[in-house]
Structure 1
């Protein structure tokens, strides 16, 4: 397991409140960041699709299906010390939502100084998608990324953040449990942390949780639910307080663990955390830089 890095948060981000539920401490950070670009809040999925992006520099397949691949955005300054972000996109586990809706986010992360690897996988509606096929894809995709770096030992020398949005956050939390040698931290962006509770809800994404687990028994539900496992690495949850797709309780419940930190994004909706043109993005990317610099 990689060494756990200490967490220090500075008052240099915009519209961010830090909450550590294990100690019941809360603080509001004063905005000091300066940015000339107009910023927005509570954006829609279609807003995100309109953000300019750069295409990935590399695509590598880890399976036989056309959607079993990983993509790389090479860092602007490609060095052995460049921090790495491995991104798992969301979309309610459904094949209606593909990796391309995170291209703007991945491009912006590259511009911010990260090497970005993004993972595509079979989803509900694809042959082999759903549980457990989707998670098998995530594991195999991560193995492919490890191989691209020359093995676990080589990647362990880098600072690695495993990051997932929404349903991708659910998959990232699960995958981190089995990849402790390469992952320094997990970042959940509006992450679904308690699949069992989430799938009991009535919105379309919550109902998709039932489809994702269709035919699964109680043992499978437990294995697919991050809420049943204490995280092996530090976890940082970013959640907009205007999110109407993933309830805030998903983050609050998971944050009872000692090594989980919850960061509320004021005025942010579900998609702000993947929108480089949002207010929330400034807070997110600033924290990602600070976390990577500490290791």
Structure 2
């Protein structure tokens, strides 16, 4: 006879956000809005002559809504990567609740913030030959979307001529399939926020998911790791397994890593088993040279 197993005690958002917050080494602006900023995190030891820091492009979540979260939510794991010898390019963007956010602004902001990495790489000794993008929750969607930008048609307002090349994506409890998320009232962001994100249909835009939802752009042609918690009550596991199946069917290399006793907050808590797994994946991706 098996004994009942107690449910694990999960972290809450205040458990993370009430901690003393580490600070970035620099902040740069890529536009005039207060959210059009990037924080740069640099290891203490400067690279040897002719070398550059391995670099992680980081994208925060918060349901694409600025009032819920901004880039500072990632400060603890950004600091942990900095201590481990990685540089972090932690981007922000206007959420759907800000003027200019939603479609196309939120997407254009994410793209401009990513592309700005090239302009500042030399000044901060950042290696842009192999970029790993790490996104949490809504940021998992944006990280994957950034890697897929090269697939956007020139007719899309989101098209970029030479988007930053991303070599590997790690999505932490992400929502890559916006259409599936919009059909899932139990997704922690709700369905209304996705409607605001993708914008309305119109005479020239019948399909709002064509240039916003990652499955519509498959295959994206880069390896992808999905890290999800068994106890995540914000993002249903089927959003990860469903996307994994679609991406694999399209020919992409995708691995789903399911972490026990893990909720949504643990994915961005530096002491967690989920973050230890993510660091392992980052290390493996950046060591492929």
Deviations 1:120-173 (A, max 9, x none): 10001100101211000011111211111159xx8443x310111111111111
- Structure 1: 5+ residue stretches without partners: 1-39
Instruction: State which drifts further: 267-276 or 218-227.
Output: 218-227
- In structure 1, the partner of 2:183 is 200
- Which aligned pairs between 1:96-107 and structure 2 lie closer than 5 A? 96=67, 97-107=69-79
- Structure 2: 5+ residue stretches without partners: 1-7, 151-162
- Which aligned pairs between 1:141-220 and structure 2 lie closer than 5 A? 141-150=113-122, 155-157=127-129, 159-178=130-149, 182-203=165-186, 204-207=188-191, 208-216=193-201, 217-220=205-208
Q: Report whether the alignment pairs 1:221 with 2:209.
A: yes
Counterpart pick for 1:47 among 15, 19, 30 = 15
Q: What is the total number of aligned residue pairs between the two structures?
A: 253
- In structure 2, the partner of 1:86 is 57
Return the offset for 1:41: 6.1
Structure 1 residues 150 and 177: CA distance shift in structure 2, 3 A: farther
Q: Report whether the alignment pairs 1:134 with 2:128.
A: no
Q: 1:287, 1:168 → 2: CA distance?
A: 17
- Which aligned pairs between 1:23-34 and structure 2 lie closer than 5 A? none
Counterpart pick for 1:289 among 273, 283, 288 = 283
Normalised TM-score (structure 1): 0.80
Q: Report whether the alignment pairs 1:267 with 2:261.
A: yes
Q: Report whether the alignment pairs 1:66 with 2:34.
A: yes
Higher relative contact order, structure no. (Cα contacts within 8 Å, ≥ 6 residues apart): 1
Return the offset for 1:81: 4.1
- Kept in 1, the 8 Å contact 2:63–2:137? The answer is yes
In angstroms, what is the RMSD of aligned CA positions?
Answer: 2.1
Q: What secondary structure does 1:59 align onto?
A: strand
Q: 2:241, 2:91 → 1: CA distance?
A: 27
Return the offset for 1:100: 1.3
Q: Report whether the alignment pairs 1:254 with 2:238.
A: no
Q: 1:105, 1:198 → 2: CA distance?
A: 26
Deviations 1:56-81 (A, max 9, x none): 11111111111101110112333224
Counterpart pick for 2:270 among 268, 276, 282 = 276
